[in-house]
A and B are shown apart, each in its own frame.
Chain A
Amino acid sequence: MSPKADIQALKKKAKEIRRDDLTMIAKAGSGHPGGSLSMVEILTTLFYGGVLRHDPKNPEWDKRDRLVLSKGHGCPALYVVLAHRGYFPRDLLWTLRKLGSPLQGHPQRGLLPGIEISSGSLGQGLSIAGGMALAAKLDKQTHRIYCIIGDGESDEGQIWEAAMTAAKYALDNFCAILDANGVQQNGPVSEIKNLEPLPEKWRSFGWHPIELNGHRFEELLAAFEKAKSVKGKPAILIARTVKGKGVSFMEGQSSWHGKAPKPEELERALQEIEAGNIG
Chain B
Amino acid sequence: MGSATKAQSEQKATRDGFGEGLLELGRTRPDVVVLTGDLGDSTRANWFQKEFPERFFEMGIAEQDMMGAAAGLALSGKIPFVCSFGVFATGRAWEQIRTSICNMNLNVKIGGTHCGISVGADGTTNEALEDISTMRAQVNMTVLVPCDSIEAKKATLAAAETPGPVYLRLGRSPSSILTKGKDPFVVGKANLLREGKDVALFACGLMVDRSLRAAALLEKEGIRARVVNMHTVKPVDREAIVAACRDTGAIVTAEEHTIVGGFGSAVAEVVVEEHPVPMARIGILDRIGESGEPEELFKAFRLTAEDIAQAARHVIKKKRK
A135 and B72 contacting across the interface, CB-CB below 8 Å: yes
- Which stretch in A109-117, A176-184, A219-227, A242-250 binds the other chain? A109-117
A161-B62 contact, Cβ under 8 Å, with A128-B69, A132-B76, A134-B69: yes
Asked if B77 and A135 sit within 8 Å, CB to CB, the answer is: yes
Residue of A nearest to B75 (CB): A132
- CB within 8 Å of B: which A119-167 residues: 119-121, 123-136, 138-139, 157-158, 161-162, 164-165
- B103 pairs with A118, CB closer than 8 A: yes
The residues of A that contact B104 with a CB separation of less than 8 Å are 109-110, 117-118
A138 touches B54 (CB 8 A): yes
Query: How far is A121 from B102 in the complex, measured between Cα atoms in Å?
Result: 13
Asked whether, in the complex, the Cβ of A165 is within 8 Å of the Cβ of B75, the reply is: no
Q: CB within 8 Å of A: which of B90-140?
A: 95-96, 99-100, 103-104
Per DSSP, chain B at the interface is helix
B49-100 with Cβ < 8 A to chain A: 54-55, 57, 59-60, 62, 64-78, 80, 95-96, 99-100
- Chain A residues 83 to 128 lying within 8 A of chain B, measured CB to CB, are 108-110, 116-121, 123-128
The answer to whether A161 touches B64, judged by C-beta atoms less than 8 angstroms apart, is yes
- Using Cβ atoms and an 8 Å threshold, which residues of chain B touch A129? 72
Distance of A117 Cα from B73 Cα, bound (Å): 12
Asked whether A165 and B59 contact (CB < 8 A) given A127-B72, A131-B76, the answer is: yes
Q: A110-B104, A118-B103 are in contact. Are A135 and B73 (CB under 8 A)?
A: yes
Which of B71, B78, B80, B103 interacts with A127 by CB under 8 Å?
A: B71
Most B-side CB within 10 Å, residue of A124, A125, A131: A131
In the complex, which range does the number of interface residues on chain A fall in? 20 to 34
Interface bracket on B: 20 to 34
Does B33 lie at the interface of the complex (its beta carbon under 8 Å from any beta carbon of A)?
yes
A-B pair count, CB < 8 Å, reads 101
Pick from A127, A136, A164: contact of B100, CB under 8 Å: A127
Nearest-CB distance from A9 to chain B (Å)? 32
Query: Once bound together, how far apart are the Cα atoms of A130 and B72, in whole Å?
Result: 7
A164 near B73 with CB under 8 A, answer no
Q: Considering the complex, give the chain A residue whose CB is closest to the CB of B55.
A: A138
Report yes or no: B68 in contact with A138, Cβ–Cβ below 8 A.
no
A126-B76 contact given A118-B104, A138-B54, A138-B55, CB 8 Å threshold: no
Is the Cβ of B73 less than 8 Å from the Cβ of A131?
A: yes
Contact check, B33 vs A132: say whether CB atoms are below 8 A apart.
no
Min CB gap B39→A, angstroms: 16
Across-interface contacts of B66 in A (CB, < 8 A): 127
Cα A234 to Cα B162 in complex, Å, equals: 34
Residue in B54, B55, B78 whose Cβ sees the most chain A Cβ within 10 Å: B78
**CA A169 to CA B62, docked complex, whole Å:** 15
Instruction: Point out the residues of chain B lying under 8 angstroms from A127, CB to CB.
Output: 64-69, 71-72, 96, 100
Q: Interface centre among A132, A157, A164, by most B CB within 10 Å?
A: A132
User: Judging by beta carbons under 8 Å apart, are B99 and A121 in contact?
Assistant: yes
User: Considering residues B60, B77, B104, which has the most beta carbons from chain A within 10 angstroms of its beta carbon?
Assistant: B104
Other A-B pairs, 14, CB within 8 Å; known A127-B66, A165-B59: A110-B104, A124-B100, A127-B65, A127-B67, A127-B68, A127-B72, A128-B72, A128-B100, A130-B65, A131-B68, A131-B80, A135-B77, A158-B62, A164-B60
Chain A contacts to B: CB under 8 angstroms: 62, 108-110, 116-121, 123-136, 138-139, 157-158, 161-162, 164-165, 168-169
Cβ contacts A to B, 18 pairs, < 8 Å: A109-B103, A116-B75, A120-B99, A124-B64, A124-B96, A127-B100, A128-B72, A130-B69, A131-B68, A131-B70, A131-B74, A131-B76, A135-B78, A136-B76, A138-B54, A158-B68, A162-B65, A165-B65
